[in-house]
């Protein structure tokens, strides 16, 4: 196919609220020797996109400032050194930026097949979310079958993914969320217990679990006062993994408890990690998780889909914290 010279996309005109996201036209990016060019059909909206828009999460050096970290679409061009990927193949991919556009380049190791049975919208909901959960819960957090995972922000795209994967890989799950409706969704997805944090103390629930020992792994995106409360919630040798700090990264911590319980406090961000590392995570997903999706045991939860030009509305919705699952953009029909 003949590629156009320009494409529709979304730019961040200045740092601020959702209204600073504006449709614009920019040149189609040039594909590098180890990259593929994807005609984007759909893109996921993620919390880091909002944080970038606010001016608090700059793209890595050399990366476009167009937001968007995960896409699905059709491969339309290959870099000179790319092997094993064919033009015309439908794929999903993790990108360091540029997803809110009709075309985006992606490093070949971060390009993944689309699991059989998924729509293109559902496929675009996989890369950032599933890679984040896999590396943080199962690699850094070392969650094992039979152990108990507590997931904060459990009705989010990350949370709904973590619940399903942990459940189907043999672990117990305690989910925390902010409404009875969200808690019921978590239970329906496989959580053994759901805590409405407005009505119950998740620390007390955690301490009652696992034979009274507490939880083995905590996935937290809240931070702030949750940091010390997570420490109280953990069983001996527990692991706490932070992927965001929506209530702030600072807290007063009793490290004596960390020492006596032999806890591990860790966390990560995916975006700045080396391409080779992201490729390893992608390969693990296709080996371990794609079969669960194709067997209809795990599926991304889609809350709503906006057209590309309504990206500002998608961000506004995300910041209400009322959504359950993923917010998506439809770009090319």
pLDDT digit string (tens) for 117-170? 999 999 999 999 999 999 999 999 999 999 999 999 999 999 999 999 999 999
Quote the tokens at residue 242: 């932070």
CATH number at residue 196: 3.40.50.720
Residue whose C-alpha is closest to residue 48's, from 95, 81, 111, 83: 95
189 and 138 share one domain? yes
76 and 177 share one domain? no
pTM of the model: 0.95
Q: How far apart are CA 106 and CA 195, in angstroms?
A: 39
Q: How far apart are CA 52 and CA 60, in angstroms?
A: 11
pLDDT digits over 289-302, tens only? 999 999 999 999 99
Give every strand in the sheet of 264-267, ordered side by side: 193-196, 172-177, 148-151, 215-220, 234-242, 264-267
83 and 144 share one domain? no
Classify residue 194: in a domain, yes or no.
yes
Cα radius of gyration rounded to whole Å, the chain: 20
Residues of the chain with pLDDT under 50: none
Q: How far apart are CA 176 and CA 203, in angstroms?
A: 11
Classify residue 1: in a domain, yes or no.
no
227 and 282 share one domain? no
Classify residue 91: in a domain, yes or no.
yes
CATH number at residue 278: 3.90.180.10
Domain limits for position 66: 6-126+271-330
CB atoms under 10 Å from CB of 168, counted, come to 14
Backbone phi and psi for residue 100, each to the nearest 5 degrees, phi listed first:
-85, 65
153 and 121 share one domain? no
Looking at residue 332, its pLDDT comes to 81
Looking at residue 289, its pLDDT comes to 98
139 and 72 share one domain? no
* Domains identified in the chain, total number: 2
135 and 263 share one domain? yes
Q: How many residues comprise the chain?
A: 333
Residue whose C-alpha is closest to residue 37's, from 83, 105, 102: 105
């Amino acid at each position: 196919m003949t590629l156009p010279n320009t494409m529709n996309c979304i730019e961040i005109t200045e740092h601020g609220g959702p209204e600073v996201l504006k449709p614009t036209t920019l040149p189609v990016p040039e594909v590098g020797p180890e990259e593929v060019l994807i005609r984007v059909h759909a893109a996921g909206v993620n919390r880091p996109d909002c944080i970038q828009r606010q001016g608090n999460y700059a793209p890595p050096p050399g990366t476009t400032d167009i937001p968007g970290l995960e896409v699905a679409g059709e491969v339309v061009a290959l870099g000179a050194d790319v092997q094993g990927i064919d033009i015309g193949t439908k794929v999903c991919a993790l990108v360091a930026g540029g997803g809110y556009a009709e075309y985006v380049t992606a490093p070949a190791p971060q390009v993944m097949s689309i699991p059989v049975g998924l729509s293109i919208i559902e496929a675009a909901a996989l890369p950032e979310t599933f890679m984040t959960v896999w590396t943080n819960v199962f690699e850094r957090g070392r969650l094992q079958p039979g152990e108990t995972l507590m997931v904060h922000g459990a009705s989010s795209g990350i949370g709904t993914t973590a619940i399903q994967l942990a459940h189907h890989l043999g672990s117990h799950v305690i989910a925390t969320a902010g409404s009875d409706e969200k808690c019921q969704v978590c239970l329906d997805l496989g959580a053994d217990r759901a805590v409405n944090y407005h009505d119950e103390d998740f620390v007390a629930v955690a301490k009652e679990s696992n034979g009274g020992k507490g939880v083995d792994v905590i996935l937290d995106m809240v931070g702030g006062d949750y940091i010390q409360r997570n420490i109280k919630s953990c069983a001996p040798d527990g692991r706490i993994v932070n992927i965001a700090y929506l209530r702030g990264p600072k807290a007063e911590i009793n490290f004596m408890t960390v020492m006596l319980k032999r806890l591990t406090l860790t966390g990560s961000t995916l975006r700045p990690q080396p391409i080779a590392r992201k490729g390893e995570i992608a390969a693990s997903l296709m080996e371990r998780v794609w079969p669960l999706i194709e067997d209809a045991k795990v599926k991304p939860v889609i809350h709503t889909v906006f057209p590309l030009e309504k990206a500002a509305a998608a961000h506004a919705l995300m910041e209400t914290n009322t959504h359950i699952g993923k917010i998506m953009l439809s770009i090319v029909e």
